Amino acid sequence: MQPGLYHILCISAALFFIGAFGFLTRRNLITMLMGLELMLNSVNLNFIAFDKYVWPGKMDGLFFTLFIIAIAAAEAAVVIAIIINVYRSTHAIDVEQTKQLKH
Amino acid sequence: MNAENIIFYLLAAMTLVSGFMAVTSRLIFRSAIYLLFSLIGVAGLYFWMQYEFIAAVQIVVYVGGITVLIIFSIFLTQQAGEALPAAIFSNKLAAAMAAVFGLALLLLQFRNFPFLESTSVTSPAMKEIGSRMLDVEQTGYALPFELVSVLLLAAMIGCIVIAMRPQHEKENK
């Protein structure tokens, strides 16, 4: 069977839920960030698949993907700055131990 | 089954298997390397769809940038050789159920929804992407482009401010 839109949608759905599983089970901030990156990638894959197979030549999905990649890069940089700051004040990056903002 | 299909299935398997290993491996450095391979697999899928520009951006930003950033932060914050504590079983069960049922629901929807696939499948040329990106007409993307550039500047300054050591700590040393 020739792979097409349906196959790519299935792959991106599976990648999204793999990322969601990682995000929900991990207790370490860096590994949670990895799950988040997988989810963002699956969304990009979805946009590109619709751009190619449903509205070819309109390029809207392509630009959404480009902007998502740019914003994801900025988000990852900010997250890692926050992680390093959290590590500096608590000497751990476990989400169970970061509760200074709680009270 | 021709070579095109075989390459597609290999890329899909590489993306999904290494993605799964990335979220389940107990060694954090290994998990970062699996994430790297998963992102390369996604870039390969973009190449397979003949979106070369997006594939190149994916490799430059994700594989070259974000993964290296993650590996740096692993080295800065923990002993890379130590295994992470295992996830709590009830959490794992709940997350697995959420993932499996969500995936089943989505796959069912994909099966039933009639996507109107276009017959003429093309991929955009580099020149079109560039002129559309900086177009100020109705369908252009000049405004989001400028907004993203301001956002990147703000994120850069924000990162420096967040990660900077406070002044009084410096004086104590």
Q: What are the backbone angles phi and psi of residue B58, rounded to the nearest 5°?
A: -60, -45
> Reduced to 3 states, what is the DSSP secondary structure of residue A28?
strand
Tell me if A34 and B31 make a contact (CB, 8 A cut-off).
yes
Which residues, at least 6 apart from B137, have a Cβ–Cβ distance to it below 8 Å?
A: none
Reply yes or no on whether the pLDDT at A99 is more than 70: yes
> What stretches in chain B show pLDDT beneath 50?
none
Instruction: Output the pLDDT for position B80.
Output: 59
In the predicted structure, residue A74 carries a pLDDT above the cut 70:
yes
Min Cα separation A38/chain B (Å): 7
A62 reaches B (C-beta below 8 A):
yes
CB contact under 8 A, A34 and B123: no
A57 and B155 in contact by Cβ < 8 A? Answer: no
Q: Look up the pTM and report it.
A: 0.89
Q: What is the pLDDT of residue A35?
A: 93
pLDDT at A71: 93
Residue A102's pLDDT is what?
66
Test the B interface: residue of A24, A33, A82 with most B CBs within 10 Å: A24
From residue B123, alpha-carbon distances to A12, B11, B129 in Å are 19, 19, 11
- Per-residue model confidence as pLDDT tens digits over A7-44: 999 999 999 999 999 999 988 888 999 999 999 999 99
> Nearest-CA residue of chain A relative to B44?
A45
Percent of chain A that is helix, strand, coil (3-state, to 5) = 75, 0, 25
A70 touches chain B (CB under 8 A): yes
- The answer to whether A95 faces chain B, any CB pair under 8 Å, is no
* ipTM (interface pTM): 0.91
Task: Tell me the mean pLDDT in the region A81-87.
Answer: 87
User: What is the tens place of the pLDDT at every residue in A40-67?
Assistant: 999 999 999 998 888 887 888 899 999 9
Give A 28-47 residues with CB within 8 A of chain B: 28, 30-31, 33-35, 37-38, 41, 44-45
Q: Which letter, b or e, does each residue of A75-101 get, where b requires 16 or more Cβ atoms within 10 Å of its Cβ?
A: bbbbbbbbbbebbeeeeebeeeebeee
CB-based contact B99 A18, cutoff 8 Å: yes
The pLDDT, as a whole number, for residue A88 is: 83
| Structure confidence at residue B122 (pLDDT) | 75
